[in-house]
Amino acid sequence: MLAAVAIPVVTPPPFATPNSLTCALGPPWQGLRAASLASPSSLQWSKKQRQCKRKAGPSSICARFELKPPPYPLDALEPHMSKETLEYHWGKHHRGYVDNLNKQIEGTELDELSLEDIILATHNQGDLLPPFNNAAQIWNHDFFWESMKPGGGGRPSGELLELINRDFGSFERFVDDIKLAAATQFGSGWAWLAYKANRLDVENAVNPNPSYEDKKLVVVKSPNAVNPLIWDYSPLLTIDVWEHAYYLDFQNRRADYISIFLEKLVSWEAVSSRLEIAKARAVEREEEEERRKREEEEKASDGEVAEIYVDGKSDDSEAE
């Protein structure tokens, strides 16, 4: 009769290295949780290589990030957005965010990260660390300038329009929703059209048909510097509703500014291109998730107890 002998298969534990941000990030950002830093593969945009330039002098700082100009001359959006607004908004406010972030991250582990990684790390699961606002505002403004073009406005076309009609009911309904989000964002903030490629729902979404389904277009609004990257959404379009974005041209008439943005300034070509990137990213993440599941199943299978059956008789008895 065969006797079952259970021989456990032992897999050595992987070597764990301490997270460099948790261990090495100096004051005032000690205690940064590793869980708040997403891997680069989970981000929509790849890391951007920026040359570090130093000016002479003992108080010089490393220009880790540089002020990126809008993709058009500063007077190109007139008469809908004045050159004076761009000079103040881009030339002073946006520049200030860049200068302040470079000062904040110099000599820290954050200096080695992309802008998107800095945003996710310093969001810190809602317990914001000091560099978050400047980092997010740099990203938001770069995205905002590229959301507009001279002679913009009108209606989108192609797949973007099809998805808007599918997820909002009609283009007109979408316009109403994003206008409402922008107009009702109390104080400073942003209104966004985003591609939701996961099942994380956002409490302040103003999509008329809120759903936990993924792969949908949603309209959301966010306060201050917050943007949809922290919810793992893919932003497609944004409207800046900080007062400095419109006050020189529209004074306190935010609703008029929002209407002009959508009717005369928005670049639907840019939004369509971002949608393609977001969809490709969603497919890559699905494939990555499938690979991860397969690897976990293989590891679980390798770790199971292996049973080896041997003949219960001794070698001597067999010889007889």
Q: Looking at the predicted structure, is the pLDDT value of residue 174 above 90?
A: yes
Q: CA 263 to CA 259: how far, in whole Å?
A: 6
* C-alpha–C-alpha distance, residues 92 and 244, integer Å: 10
Q: Given this model, what pLDDT does residue 297 score?
A: 83
Tell me how far the alpha carbon of residue 288 is from its chain's centroid.
Answer: 18
Q: For residue 231, is pLDDT > 90?
A: no
CB 66 within 8 A of CB 133: no
* Vertex 66 angle, CA 116 and 99, to 5°: 90
What are the backbone dihedrals phi and psi of residue 77, each rounded to the nearest 5 degrees, phi first?
-95, 0
Give the rounded percent of residues in the chain with a pLDDT score beyond 70. 70
Element of type H or E holding 223: strand 216-223
Using the predicted structure, report yes or no on whether residue 158 has a pLDDT greater than 50.
Answer: yes
240 vs 287 pLDDT, higher one = 240
pLDDT, mean of residues 55-68: 58
Half-sphere exposure of 53 (CA within 13 A, CB side): 5
Q: Is the pLDDT score of 249 beyond 80? A: yes
> Which residues, in sequence order, are bridge partners of residue 309?
4
Joined together, the tokens standing for residue 74 give 């500063």
pLDDT score for 287: 86
Q: pLDDT-based confidence at 201, cuts 50/70/90?
A: low
Under a CB-based contact definition with an 8 Å cutoff, are residues 224 and 267 in contact?
no
- The predicted model gives 303-314 an average pLDDT of 53
* Average pLDDT of span 32-50: 35
Beta-bridge partner residues of 270: none
Tokens read off for 104: 């904040």
* Span 2-30, average pLDDT: 33
Residue ranges of alpha helices (H) inside the chain are: 20-24, 83-88, 95-105, 115-123, 132-145, 158-168, 171-184, 247-250, 254-260, 268-302, 315-319
Per-residue pLDDT of 288-307, as tens digits, reads: 888 888 888 888 877 655 55
* DSSP 8-state class, residue 6: E
Tokens of 101: 């972030």
Residue 217's pLDDT is: 94
Counting residues of the chain whose pLDDT is more than 90, the rounded percentage is: 57
Structure confidence by residue, pLDDT tens digits, 77-136? 999 999 999 999 999 999 999 999 999 999 999 998 999 999 999 998 888 999 999 999
pLDDT band at 317 (very low <50, low <70, confident <90, very high): very low
